[in-house]
Chains A and B, each alone.
Chain A
Amino acid sequence: MIQLKDVTFGYTKIAPVFKDLNLELAGGHIYGLLGKNGVGKTTLMKIIAGLRFANSGTAEIFGEPSYKRSPAMLQDLYFVGEEMYAPALTIRQYVDTFAPFYPNFSREQMDAYLEQFELTGCTQRISAMSHGQKKKVIISFALATNVKVLLMDEPTNGLDIPSKSMFRKVMAMAADQERLFILSTHQVRDLHSLIDSIILLDGGEILLAEPNEVITDKLLFKVVDSTEGMTNLLYAEDTLRGIYTVSENVNHEECKLDIELLFNAAISNKKKIKELFSNY
């Protein structure tokens, strides 16, 4: 569905954000796009959406270059930015104005999502709403478009605690085998239960882009009392509950993925992580 081939991009020629980036993403997944601040998560999503043009290489979506921004491509793609455009329209006016652009838009779904977010019957103009409310409206609209590719930049930023769980609920409602979601986030705990694949960006390259089950097959996430005698240890974090560790899963033990630990382990052991996942 999405294919990046040798993509190099930089805001200046001296310091490229990405160099020869390769990535292939398929439908039916909710990808978590992770990386430190300024690593280029938003830029990568913009390249996929055709809002930024690669200096070299190609970014394709549905088999055509994304920079062309063709109507057919845009009808099946929606980008929810961290900062959203909120016009001085009511929700109803917004839907009446923009929904006709999306052939698969469902008003029933929109109403259902708004109900989940407790925004049913809201007659306030979107521009006058709080940041969190604006976000809920735009997310509801984005999901109701039923586009095949949905890109969300920090979707839970600005949402209160109940809204975060509602967000997970509506995302789960909207996910299916046809659709591809990419969620860029720093709030990994908010989206832990939702994400089924991880894309990890660092230093202008992709350290890891794998489904959760592949990651847990290769890496073992365990809480131990002591790391003494542990072989293949990649990362350890001392907490009140014990020592959280990430090590090579030599015996293919079953374990639960901890995204935050994975992130820290990958950043501190780039070479090893790349080595481990190079066969996939």
Chain B
Amino acid sequence: MEKQFSIDRMMLLARSIFVQNKSKDLRLALVIAGVMAVIGLLRSITGTYHILFGAEVIVWMVMAGTTYKMMSNQPRAMAYLTMPASTAEKAVVTIAYLNIYYFVLLAASSFIGYYLGQILHNAIVILPFFRDFASSPEGHTFSLSSVEFSSGNPSKLLYNMMWVSILLFGSIYFKKYAILKTLLTACIFGFAIFILDIIVIACVGSAFDLSSMNHLNFPDIPEWIENVTYYAVPCVFTLFFWFMTYLRLRETEA
């Protein structure tokens, strides 16, 4: 029986994606590093985590879009689909590439950029001219813990992966304006859930209160179930969208 998974073929696929995108990736890494250097420099006046999270989301979107950009370009799609590898191998390599390679690229370029920004910040702070208005609580020392990144928090990482899997599926499902359509669909879906929530709350009898939306307490549910659900939801969704990506790729025509 023919193998659906061959490590050699998957390595070749990963290599081919890397070779074709390396210049673009390098440019992206430099842009991220530059942005993070500015963030590092201005850390005293900005909220580090939120900006980092925003940068992550944007990079994931760019990556998901460019990874499957090939599907909207017919000659490229034809070349990709006729590459001698199974659909499962192509899906696995793309998922791994997006979640490992780009994650490392993002983390490394962000970290380096942020580190350089901090060095620059500290250097500026030393100068008497800037000291008064460029100071920060920890301006003279660079602290690793100050770089709050999603890798440090498993739940954030899982939710990030879930979003990447949704974007990846959207990128292959929609042929044109894939990212925009995916985000729009996600917004509509989110809005539908929100409306459903309101209906459920109305049905169970409690008065509608927006503040209660985030603090619904169900005393009968043990805490461990809540915790498991918190981690299980992104895992299930991620696996679901990975599988859907595989199925969609199998049915893709060019």
**CB contact list, A76-96 vs B, under 8 A:** 77-79, 81, 83-85, 87-89, 93, 96
Known interface pairs A46-B254, A53-B253, A74-B83. Does A79 touch B78 (Cβ–Cβ under 8 Å)? yes
B74 at the interface (CB under 8 A from A): yes
A residues 117-143 near B (Cβ < 8 Å) are none
Q: Are A81 and B78 in contact (CB under 8 A)?
A: yes
Question: A17 to chain B: closest CB distance in Å?
Answer: 13
Q: With A52-B253, A98-B16 in contact, is A72–B74 under 8 Å at CB? A: no
How many angstroms between the C-alpha atoms of A102 and B86 in the bound complex? 14
Partner of B75, one of A50, A52, A81: A81
Would you call A78 and B82 a contact (CB within 8 A)? Answer: yes
> Which residues from B are CB-within-8-Å of A98?
16, 83
**B196 contacts across to A, CB distance below 8 A:** none
**Cβ–Cβ contact B2 & A72, under 8 A:** yes
The B interface, classified by DSSP as helix, strand, loop or mixed, is helix
B85 adjacent to A74 (CB under 8 Å): yes
B79 neighbours in A (Cβ, 8 Å): 84-85
Q: Are B2 and A70 in contact (CB under 8 A)?
A: yes
State in angstroms the CA–CA spacing of A83 and B2 once bound together: 32
CB neighbours (8 Å) of B84 from chain A are: 71, 74-75, 101-102
Is B9 on the interface with A (CB-CB < 8 A)? yes
| Complex contact A71–B86 (CB within 8 A) | yes
- Whether a CB of chain A sits under 8 angstroms from the CB of B185 is no
Q: Is the CB of B12 within 8 A of A87?
A: no
Q: Does B20 lie within 8 Å of A97, measured CB to CB?
A: yes
Query: With an 8 A cutoff between CB atoms, is A69 at the interface?
Result: yes
* A79–B2 CB distance below 8 A: no
Asked whether, in the complex, the Cβ of A83 is within 8 Å of the Cβ of B82, the reply is no
Q: Check if B81 is an interface residue, CB within 8 A of chain A.
A: yes
Contacts of B19 in A (CB 8 A): 89, 93, 96-97
Docked-complex contact A83 and B74, CB < 8 angstroms: yes
| Residue of A whose beta carbon sits closest to that of B11 | A100
Encoded as 1 (CB less than 8 Å from any B CB) or 0, chain A from 247 to 276 comes to 000000000000000000000000000000
Task: Enumerate chain A residues within 8 angstroms of B75, measured Cβ to Cβ.
Answer: 81, 83-85
Interface: A51 (CB within 8 A): yes
Docked-complex contact B85 and A97, CB < 8 angstroms: no
Measured CA separation A77–B89 after assembly (Å): 18
Contact with B2, one of A46, A50, A71, A97 (Cβ below 8 angstroms): A71
Question: For B20, what are the chain A residues with a Cβ–Cβ distance below 8 Å?
Answer: 87-89, 97
A-B contact pairs, 25 of them (CB 8 A): A46-B78, A49-B82, A51-B78, A51-B82, A51-B253, A52-B253, A53-B251, A70-B86, A71-B2, A71-B3, A71-B9, A74-B82, A74-B84, A84-B75, A85-B79, A88-B20, A88-B23, A89-B19, A96-B19, A98-B83, A100-B12, A101-B12, A101-B83, A101-B85, A102-B84
Kindly list 14 other residue pairs between chains A and B, CB separation below 8 angstroms, not including A88-B23, A101-B9. Answer: A46-B253, A46-B254, A51-B254, A71-B85, A72-B2, A74-B85, A79-B78, A81-B78, A84-B79, A97-B16, A98-B83, A101-B84, A101-B85, A102-B84
